[in-house]
Structure 1
Amino acid sequence: MKTMIRMERPFHTLWLLAILTLVLLIVASCAGNKAVTEVQELPKASVVQEQPPVQEPPKAPAEATPTHGQAESEFVLSETAYKETKRDLSDLVQELNKIIAAKDYEKWLTYLTKEYRAYYSDPAVLRAQSEAPLLKKYSVVLRSLKDYFHYVVVGSRQNVRLDEIKALDENRVRAYMYVDNTPVIIYELQKVDNQWKIGIIE
């Protein structure tokens, strides 16, 4: 009888260890899956650079909080120039909101640089944009800059606001809006013939 008891104890111990190990593996697996899901749900780097309802690929800024004169490598605007530029661009963003809300494609075109027009008219770029989840959900295929405007820009740029700017030089600025205390790029702006336009900054 004693012999039987001695044989059962290690058997039960091993059985319990096997069960505990299995439970720990399942918990770890669930936690890993949750982490992967959370990472996949994060917005792509555009920010608000046009995504749902189909936006331009969001480009998350590298800096946590862009401010003028933040680092030695950044272009530094004087306080006066910074305030004037931000005021002018804030007015521009409000004007663009109205144009986009009215779905005025022809008027919107006047605020684009040649580089922006060319980039978002490129069939390869349009195909890539068509892979956005919301576009695929409704079987929307972008074939032109006009399609891009109606299906991407109109759905993502009607109500943005300018909270912060970062000057790259005298004629190039990134415009940001804070979303949950995180700065998100809403526009890349370039001054062309003394007029600010939507551009593409590498």
Structure 2
Amino acid sequence: MKYTKTAFVLLILCTMGLWFQSCKTAETAAKEKTAEVQPQDKKAAAQKTEPQKVMEKSPEDEEYSRSTSALSGTAVTFDEFQRDKTTILAIIQDLDKSMKNRDYGLWRSYLTPESISYWSNKFNLQVIATKLPKKGLTLRTLGDYFSHVFIPSRMDRKVSEIRYISPTDVKAVEVDGNKDIIYYEFEKINGRWLVKLPIL
């Protein structure tokens, strides 16, 4: 088959045109595919780089966590914690009054029966007397314990939080940085919070 010079040139140009068109079509398709994928990739990348938002606890929630950290599960609800704390701090205010006024009767009314029995024992009073900073004191009664042990160790102390040991056993503390200074222990007996004095 013979081609004229002009026909041959046309054939070459057509072939190049078809090739150029197919390249252009492939390039357009690749761009379209990239355009489709890119927004999703950008979104995914943005999600990866965006910092996770952490829910911040309120001061009340943080205190509740500190106060109930020794308990397992939800043994004490937030509302129960609030009620117990309010009751215990009110009792401590009464104890402060009893110390300032030297009101032994008011103080004694807040003690657990076990505490009254233990610190009415003369042997225990003699032992604690030897550990007091003021030497030569003789403790004979629970009233002596109130005057010479309880008042000096707790007068004007700033108790601000409580710590559960169990749902019916609580320590009242002053928070000093990361440290808790324990001033009182309370025990719930027949629905009433009472002061549990430390024993030897």
Partner Cα separation in structure 1 for residue 134 and residue 150 of structure 2: 13
Tell me the residue number matched to 2:155.
158
Q: 2:137 aligns with which of 116, 136, 140?
A: 140
Shift of 1:133: 4.2
Deviation at 1:83, TM superposition (A): 1.7
| Matching residue of 2:113 | 114
* Structure 2 CA distance for partners of 1:71 and 1:103, relative to 1, 3 Å: closer
Give structure 1 stretches of 5+ with no counterpart: 1-65
The match for 1:98 is 97
Q: Which runs of 5+ in 2 are unaligned?
A: 1-64
The residue matched to 1:135 in structure 2 has which SS? Answer: coil
Residue of structure 1 in register with 2:83 after alignment: 84
C-alpha spacing 1:116/1:168, structure 2 compared with 1 (3 Å)? same
In structure 2, the partner of 1:193 is: 190
Determine the structure 1 residue equivalent to 2:16. Answer: none
| 8 Å contact from structure 1 (residues 76, 167) kept in 2 | no
Cα distance between partner residues in 2 of 1:172 and 1:132: 27
Residue 58 of structure 2 corresponds to none
Higher relative contact order (CA 8 A, sep 6+): 1
Aligned to 2:166: 169
Give the drift of 1:74.
8.1
Q: Deviations over 1:46-80 (max 9, x none)?
A: xxxxxxxxxxxxxxxxxxxx923324658742122
Q: Give the alignment's Cα RMSD to 1 decimal.
A: 2.5
Residue 188 of structure 1: CA displacement? 1.1
Amino acid at match of 2:86: R
Using the TM superposition, give the Cα deviation of residue 168 of structure 1 relative to its aligned residue in structure 2, in angstroms: 2.7
What amino acid is aligned across from residue 171 of structure 2 in structure 1? R
- Partner residue, 2:46: none
Deviations 1:64-100 (A, max 9, x none): xx92332465874212211221111111111110111
Code of the aligned partner of 1:134: P
Q: Which secondary structure does the structure 2 equivalent of 1:174 belong to?
A: strand
TM-score, structure 1 normalization: 0.58
CA distance change for structure 1 residues 72 and 158 in 2, over 3 Å: closer, same or farther? closer
Q: 1:103 to 1:181 in 2, by over 3 A?
A: farther
Q: Give me the whole-angstrom Cα distance separating, in 2, the residues matched to 1:134 and 1:160.
A: 19
User: Matched residue pairs, number?
Assistant: 135
Task: Decide whether aligned partners of structure 1 residues 155 and 172 sit closer, same or farther in structure 2, where only a CA change above 3 A counts.
Answer: same
Quick check: which has more Rg, 1 or 2? 2
Aligned amino acid, residue 155 of structure 1: P
What percent of counterpart residues are identical? 27
Structure 1 residues 83-124: Cα deviation after superposition (integer angstroms, max 9, x where no partner)? 221111111111110111110011211111110011111222
